Amino acid sequence: MTPNANGKVKIPTKFYQEDIVQGNNSRSYGIVLRCWHDSDDTPPPQDQHDPLMRPLEKGEVGVSFFPNGIREILPESEFTLVDRMFQPGDLCKRSIDDVRSGVITSVDVKGRLEHAISGEPVPDWKSMNDIETPADVDIGDYVAYDNWIGQVVELFDEAVVDVSNGQLVRLPELSSRLTVGEKGSDIIPPPTYVSHLFGLLSRPVRGSHSDTVVDVKHSVLAISWLAINQSLPTEVAQNASRPERFWSGANLAKLKLVRSRAEWMMRVGDKVILKDAASLPSTRHGKEGEPYGVIEVRVYVVRETQTTVDVLWQDGSIETLPTTKLIPYLNPDEYDCWPGDHVLWKGEDEKRVAVVQSVNALDRTATIRFSDTGTIELASVLELDPHGTNDWSAVAPTTFDGLGVRRGDFVFIHHEGTTNGLEKPKVPRIGEVEPWVRELPVVHPDGHYGGWRKTMAEIGMDIAHRRGPDQIVEGKIRKPGPDDTSLNWFGEVSNLGLDGGVEVTLPNGAVAKFALERLTRLYDTLEQLEDLWGEGSAQGDPEHDHIHDHDTEMWAMDEDGNWQAQSNGGENDEWEETDDEGDYVMDEGEAQIDDIHTADNEVHTSWWDHIVPTMTAVPTEQQDTASVSQVPSSTLRSSSPDVPRDATEKEDVLVDGATVNGVDEDGDKSSHWKRFEVLPEAPRDHAFHNSTPSQPSRNFLARLQKEYRALSSSLPESIIVRAYEDRSDLLRSLIIGPENTPYEDAPFVIDWMLDSDFPQSPPIAHFLSWTNGNGRVNPNLYEEGKVCLSILGTWAGDRSESWSPSRSSLLQALVSIQGLVLVKEPWFCEPAYDKLRGTEEGIINSRLYNEKAYVLSRGFVRRALEVPLGSLESEISWLYHEQGRLAKVLCDARALVEKSRGETTTPPQDPSLATRGDRHRDPAVPRLTAGGIITLERTLAKLEVLQRVPTP
């Protein structure tokens, strides 16, 4: 690294949002607003004129320069990093390829300032001790009043503007869009907007580039009151009245400002007031004798910062570093934890509360202190749950981690001797957002607001109109002083102790330590509104990004149930033609099911009687590669390099004398491994068994006939499906994990239900997750059973990817899951991560995810053998016991464990590796960490018992 012309060191690393950068060929500074690797970087609407909103190419950043306000997208190589912003609780690393991470515990910022209007620099660096405690509040700030905590959700401002002719004019408006020092022709709104300002502008004013804001006063606050003091007696809290929503005038002095440590820090672009500014640059505006007289401005803007932080590393060490030596850790592993974190240790049959003492990130092990005994033990991080939620996602982590608290959280403190009401280490979250706050802004064409904002604007305009004659004076909102203990029932988490205690910084600056069970987390208004409006505005599942199908051709089923490729978007690529009202018009082969019985006791038999004679069943033993090739499996598979080969491409592998992948020469596979079969009754352990069956319609049965044809003739070898005579709406499928993926040889069972309007709506899938609460085995297979795939309507895709009654089928859905979900590198199934393929960050995260997926899916083998699964008992037993697949699983896993330990006891002629050849030069799981070995060996011990004594 060499200094550039300005003497600053150019750091060879990519940039992140909020980085402060300097152009290599100029003295101008900028703030990074967008990066090519941002997880939420999606193409903007086509009519977007913002120069920063076009899609970014790899290596590009979107930067807003100051003070000129220019916004550009440029290559990263044109910038040098000046400062990087962190706040307490943020995660960091030293470099992308460093497996160890840390948590920021404290931040120290110093800045260079200049006058907000003249631009004259202020001598020397200024620290936070030089900044005067602000009397004004901003949107998002917390305020306290009479045992209540609230949050500012809107402001009505009165700005004083020095216009081009030297006149000072007052501009009242709702929005808090202006700050002291802003200039430009857009400061004064157009005449159509200001026509309702009651003549507060003393004369017609046209916007000029020299118009300058010289003062801003927040005259009305809208406050969302979230929760009451949790240490109050129940009867007192229940009878307490919620404070008013609008605050103004002298009443503002009754409020107390409660800001986080992060909010007190200087950031580039902030406007600040210094404690000792008598000899510092200032400007004067206005004239004596005018309504506003002369206004002297001593407001300064932060132009450059230098930030240092204290970092608590996973191994327990603490270090003070400049932030330019660190990078944000944006994509944490779901098992990541840090000293002081409260976690659940999940064993075979028990869960125990523990506190993390230290973590060896390389080995994926952690030293934990069990809360019940105080003993300290070594554990695999794969057995730790730091979140307490089943749908955790690194792309979009839940706003509420159910276990423990984090640094930077605001918490209520319960009275000594009482608790938050939950079993440790769970911590509740409270914060009621009143209905009025949820109202979306309504602005009429004339600039007037609707709803509660109209009421607020009317209050603000009345104050502005009366300000001259009535001499209205606003009260000052202050931060609680050191001797003020009135708010010591609320505070910010500042540290986590290794003994489980939590340090809380109180509003008066004092620090106290509390037991975890005495704390309740604050769920603030802005978080809730973001969650509410975010869910309402997105299609599909907004919480998680998921894979998209990559079909390039459309496929349709012919009369015999075979798939044929059709042109994309063609008019003749449908299974059935429809009439004008959208009902199916059946062909002659379907006409015989026209007369359907309607009585419940007849439907369960008659529907099957009508379908069976017309099905062209293809015996499983007669299926060959040619018949299976009719399935569009190649087009259902992703174009990414980690898609596994189809099951039909597998080779035979000899393990302990048994043929594993193929068929034993003396075995009768057809009698044990029927890919499709209709059984008399649906099993009681089917996920949808208790659902109310719908009356099968004529169209439903016509379509089911074609679905059955396709399943009976074209299923890949490693997928079997069972249908049921008594429940035409239910199916159960078993998919064996593809070769050279972390899912190899593992059973994946999905239960299906066909809605009454199938095929107009996609089939409903429920994945049987057997992870024991230790996380998802795949980003698209949720622990609660959801299968996230665009063809199933559980993720928004484009037309070619979504379910279509004419182009989609159960067969397509099954092959999509095998080919697009159970892949070699499932971490990249998240589209937000696909752009990181080939990067060091992507390689590391993918390797860690593969280890988890491999270890968890070995547990799937155990679960399938220990608890017989309805409709599939004999098939699973035959595959794993009689055909030796269990022996192969054990042999492969033991070889991987030995390889990972660096042992060389495995003979080169090990039969489990004999026929794999070149395909295993780049295995999906090349090695295991120590933590992975600990967890895997628990499962292997159980599997070895099952191998010796098969479950009856």
CA 556/CA 573 separation, integer angstroms: 6
The dihedral sign for the CA sequence 481, 484, 485, 486:
negative
Task: Look up residue 515 and give its two tokens.
Answer: 């037991």
Spatial neighbors of 247 by CB under 8 A, at least 6 apart, are 220, 221, 223, 255
Cα dihedral 194, 195, 196, 202, rounded to 10, equals 70
- In the three-class reduction of DSSP (H, G, I as helix; E, B as strand; rest coil), residue 121 is classed as strand
CA 634/CA 623 separation, integer angstroms: 18
Q: Which of 92, 337, 788, 829 is catalytic?
A: 788
- Told to judge if 829 belongs to the known catalytic residues of this protein, a careful annotator would answer no
CA 85/CA 108 separation, integer angstroms: 11
Cα dihedral 631, 925, 640, 60, rounded to 10, equals 160
Name the residue type at position 521. Answer: R
User: Could you tell me where the DSSP H helices lie in 792-830?
Assistant: 810-816
What are the C-alpha distances in Å from 522 to residues 227, 266, 672, 784?
8, 24, 57, 27
CA 895/CA 913 separation, integer angstroms: 9
Q: What angle do CA 83, 84, 85 make, to 5 degrees?
A: 125
CA 497/CA 905 separation, integer angstroms: 44
Task: Look up residue 908 and give its two tokens.
Answer: 């080169």
Task: Look up residue 775 and give its two tokens.
Answer: 């996380």
What are the C-alpha distances in Å from 834 to residues 298, 326, 335, 639?
50, 24, 21, 12
**DSSP character string of 342-365:** EEEEE-SS-EEEEEEEEEETTTTE
Q: Provide the β-strand partners of residue 106.
A: 310
Q: What is the 3-state secondary structure (H, E, C) of 430-479?
A: ECCCCHHHHCCCCECCCCCECHHHHHHHHHHHHHHHHHHHHCCCCCCCEC
CB neighbours (10 Å) of residue 672? 16
What are the C-alpha distances in Å from 889 to residues 658, 894, 939?
13, 9, 11
3-state helix, strand, coil in the chain (%, to 5): 25, 25, 50
**Beta strand 283-286 with 271-272: parallel, antiparallel or unpaired?**
unpaired
User: Could you tell me where the DSSP H helices lie in 481-587?
Assistant: 525-537
DSSP code, position 164: T
The dihedral sign for the CA sequence 689, 694, 696, 700:
negative
Task: Look up residue 282 and give its two tokens.
Answer: 């200032």
CA 401/CA 521 separation, integer angstroms: 10
Task: Look up residue 334 and give its two tokens.
Answer: 């779901």
What are the C-alpha distances in Å from 912 to residues 25, 246, 861?
60, 73, 18
Name the residue type at position 604. Answer: H
- Token pair 């979009």 in the structure block, residue: 396
- Contact between 450 and 456 (Cβ < 8 Å): no
CA 865/CA 859 separation, integer angstroms: 10
Task: Look up residue 348 and give its two tokens.
Answer: 């075979």
- In the three-class reduction of DSSP (H, G, I as helix; E, B as strand; rest coil), residue 606 is classed as helix
CA 617/CA 614 separation, integer angstroms: 9
Active site residues: 788
